């Protein structure tokens, strides 16, 4: 494992049933896309809740790296550095 590439992924309450109740997962990935790909390998049903079949993050899901929204960074190619926290949020939407 490349220790320097280890980041944590915070899982919101509604999705914890898809990863054995974990509120936080650790992944080893150089960017957000690779982090999600690791989730797909290790927790496929969790991944399906975050991304659709094309690999796109679902429309009403917000992914943050630390305090910045993925759309304001480099999308799935956003680089990660050791200690980064990737947070998955259900977006504020509905009716």
**Binding footprint of other proteins on the chain (CB under 8 A):** 14-15, 45, 48-50, 52-56, 58-61, 90-91, 93-94
Is the distance from CB of 82 to CB of 53 less than 8 angstroms?
no
The nearer residue to other proteins, 54 or 67, going by C-beta atoms, is 54
By beta-carbon proximity to other proteins, the closer residue of 21 and 94 is: 94
In whole angstroms, how close is the CB of 82 to other proteins at the nearest point? 29
Rounded least distance, CB 79 to other proteins, Å: 24
CB 10 within 8 A of CB 48: no
Distances (CA, A) of 15 to 29, 38, 49, 77, 89: 21, 16, 8, 23, 10
């Amino acid at each position: 494992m490349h220790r320097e590439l280890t980041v944590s992924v915070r899982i919101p309450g509604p999705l914890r049933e898809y990863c054995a109740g974990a509120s936080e997962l650790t992944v080893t990935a150089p960017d957000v896309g690779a982090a999600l790909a690791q989730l797909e390998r290790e927790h496929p049903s969790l991944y399906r809740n975050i991304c659709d079949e094309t690999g796109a993050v679902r429309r009403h899901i917000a992914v943050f790296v630390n305090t910045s929204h993925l759309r304001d960074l480099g999308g799935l190619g956003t680089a990660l550095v050791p200690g980064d926290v990737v947070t998955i949020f259900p977006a504020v939407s509905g009716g």
